[in-house]
Amino acid sequence: MVSRGQLLELGFGADAIKHRVAKGRLHPVRRGVYAVGRPRVTRYGHWMAAVLSCGPEAVLSHESAAALWCMRPEQSSVVDVSVPARAARRGKGIAVHRRWDLGSDVLTRHRGIPVTSPALTLVDLATCLPSGELEAAVNEADKRDLMNPEALRETMRGFAGRRGVPVLRDLLDRRTFRLTDSELERRFLPLVRSVGLPTPLTRHHVNGFRVDFYWPDLGLVVETDGLRYHRTPAQQATDRVRDQAHAASGLTPLRFTHAQVRFDPDHVQATLGSVARRLGSSS
């Protein structure tokens, strides 16, 4: 992709541009934007053409930036482009976002296309996505090593005043929420009683591991995780070894997050009750 302005800067005059269009060397894609050499344009070409058509300071953003970063599938043929607030460019099939926060610290290039950074892309998504889809995008960014939640939280310290920051911070806080041992017990034990289970052993050693809650008569072990996001490979391997050791000894391991205990007790209660009934009927 090349813009008319870029061609003029390279020394091509208006007649030279017109001549190359007539000869099929340049193919108009948008007003003032051309595909070089061939008319077929990939989706990357369409994104680049939209950005070039909106001026030299324009960048891909929002849903289109998320698709470029592979955080989520492309949702629409409309291309999201952010431009400085003073800019007036717009075009068919382009959603123009005029904004003041396009400093060089939050802009980059990916596949040659000017685009908002992964962190700012997630902040922008927080202004337009429901929480479930936003969380999926954060997970995908983490999976692709674009931005892990801990680094994202730190980066957002410099994003004060940007729309989307409070929503994204709240989502991260809920998913990396950690209770103290005493607070965990205070919130978890009433759920235990509500499904008719006796009080478990707490912080007891089983199969060489200290477990959070243990019912010897049922053979049930409940472990809790403080971090839902970005558990390191070493942490994940340890979790698997623990669960496998319990299963190999005939126990049933069950795992909840601290956030589930705090924010989704109905799910914890229903799951715990269902597992307890199954174990009770088979004993």
Beta strands 113-116 and 201-206, pairing class: unpaired
Say yes or no to pLDDT of 196 above 80: yes
In terms of residues, how long is the chain?
283
Domain boundaries in the chain? 1-41, 55-175, 181-282
State the average pLDDT over residues 149-171. Answer: 87
Are 69 and 121 spatial neighbours (Cβ–Cβ below 8 Å)? yes
Kindly state the tokens that stand for 240. Answer: 């698997």
State percent of the chain over pLDDT 70.
93
pLDDT band at 195 (very low <50, low <70, confident <90, very high): very high
Say yes or no to pLDDT of 231 above 70: no
Half-sphere exposure for 66 (CA within 13 Å, toward CB):
26
Say yes or no to pLDDT of 157 above 90: no
CA dihedral (109, 112, 114, 119) positive or negative: negative
Q: Where are the beta strands (DSSP E) in 207-257?
A: 209-215, 220-225, 252-257
State percent of the chain over pLDDT 90.
64
Least confident of 24-28, 67-71, 124-128, 226-230: 226-230
pLDDT band at 199 (very low <50, low <70, confident <90, very high): very high
Say yes or no to pLDDT of 79 above 60: yes
pLDDT at 153: 85
Q: 11-43, pLDDT tens digit by residue?
A: 999 999 999 999 999 999 999 999 999 999 999
pLDDT at 71: 96
pLDDT at 233: 66
Q: 202-227, pLDDT tens digit by residue?
A: 989 999 999 999 999 999 999 987 65
Backbone Cα Rg of the chain: 27
Among the listed residues 189, 191, 190, the one whose alpha carbon sits nearest the alpha carbon of residue 203: 189
pLDDT at 142: 85
Alpha-carbon gap, residue 42 to 16, rounded angstroms: 26
The chain-wide mean pLDDT, for the chain, equals 89
Measured between alpha carbons, how far is residue 272 from residues 135, 193, 197, 206, 226 in Å?
25, 11, 9, 19, 18
Are 54 and 115 spatial neighbours (Cβ–Cβ below 8 Å)? no
pLDDT at 193: 94
Beta strands 107-110 and 113-116, pairing class: antiparallel
State the average pLDDT over residues 137-162. Answer: 86
Look at residue 118 and give its three-state secondary structure: helix
Say yes or no to pLDDT of 230 above 60: no
Say yes or no to pLDDT of 198 above 60: yes
The topology (CATH level 3) of 181-282 is Endonuclease; Chain A (3.40.960)
